[in-house]
Amino acid sequence: MDQPIPAARSPYHFFSAAEWATFRGRETLTLTEDEVRRLRSMGDAIDVGEVERIYLAISRLLYAHVESSQALFRQRKRFLRGSEQTKTPFIIGIAGSVAAGKSTTARILKELLARWPGTPKVDLVTTDGFLFPNAVLEAEGLMQRKGFPESYDVGAILRFLSDIKAGARDVRAPVYSHFHYDVMSGETVTVDQPDILIFEGLNVLQVREMPRDGKFVPFVSDFFDHSIYIDADMGDLHRWYVARFMRLRETAFREEASFFHRYSKISADDALAVAERLWTTINAKNLLENIMPTRPRADLILRKGGDHLVEEVALRKI
């Protein structure tokens, strides 16, 4: 992991994967190989060994933060003489590039955290549902900027997270279909006072321009209690993205209802050219301009090697 300042002065502690694995303590893995296969995304190499090596320690760390947050809530409630009644959910933000493995990380951590003592209620929501519908993006000339910050309904995201943090019941989030490549009109998922909410998306750690008048303008990350960034070399991300696109061309894209069905009918060379163009003009540009600059804002950075497995972990110092 590139370090612009000496490690001793960095806000992070750096650990090799082998060093990080020792922090799992005596915790035993409760996920089976079949469950891990079900949870991982296409092209992700994660297996039971990787979950034991990396993710079990992460879940232990996160659960410690959750417990500390709950203890602080009880202390603050006493301090305020009971005027603050509602315990708010612990929110974990997960950011990173397309094809980095955010979805797999989110699903694995959701399952691990839900199996800790007391079986906390853990929900997972992605920012994809908060994209503007394709019809709006088309009208605004933003289809080629899909995934960029301006393609999201940030107001809706902030209202959603604000309601979650306020302890509101039955908060609804819109649903996105990667198959149809669009927000599904009228479809929602309901989040009802979870103990932990995992909120995953490309740009969840991004900040916006500050107001000149000093008025409060919240960032999405203001609602996070802990944040994770999935990191990798651009060359690896590029390779993973193209490989996934070509694999989808042979699978999901063959369904006539798929938004990308047309790419299953062209030659492999033409499809490869499309994948390269999409990476260069959209995904790589978004990564360099908007996603990668947010990496230093994360509490935990998981650096993946070319085999898609975590090789280094950076944990923000307290």
User: DSSP E strands: which ranges in the chain?
Assistant: 12-16, 90-96, 122-126, 171-177, 182-191, 196-200, 226-231, 300-304, 310-316
CA 39 to chain CA centroid, nearest Å? 14
264, two tokens: 């299953």
Residue span of the structural domain in which 60 resides:
7-316
Per-residue pLDDT tens digits for 20-51: 999 998 888 889 999 999 999 988 999 999 99
Burial class (CB in 10 A: 0-12, 13-18, 19+), 83: exposed
Per-residue pLDDT tens digits for 297-315: 999 999 999 999 999 999 9
Q: Residue type at 59?
A: S
Per-residue pLDDT tens digits for 125-173: 999 999 999 999 999 999 999 999 999 999 999 999 999 999 999 999 9
What is this structure's pTM? 0.94
Asked if the model's pLDDT at residue 77 lies above 90, the reply is no
In a domain, 226, yes or no: yes
Q: Number of folded domains in the chain? A: 1
Asked if the model's pLDDT at residue 248 lies above 80, the reply is yes
CATH number of domain containing 312: 3.40.50.300
Q: What is the pLDDT of residue 84?
A: 63
Rounded to whole angstroms, how far apart are CA atoms 21 and 312? 11
130 vs 76 pLDDT, higher one: 130
In a domain, 124, yes or no: yes
Q: What is the pLDDT of residue 3?
A: 57
In a domain, 1, yes or no: no
Q: How confident is the model at residue 5 (pLDDT cuts 50, 70, 90)?
A: low
Per-residue pLDDT tens digits for 178-194: 999 999 999 999 999 99
Q: What is the pLDDT of residue 52?
A: 95
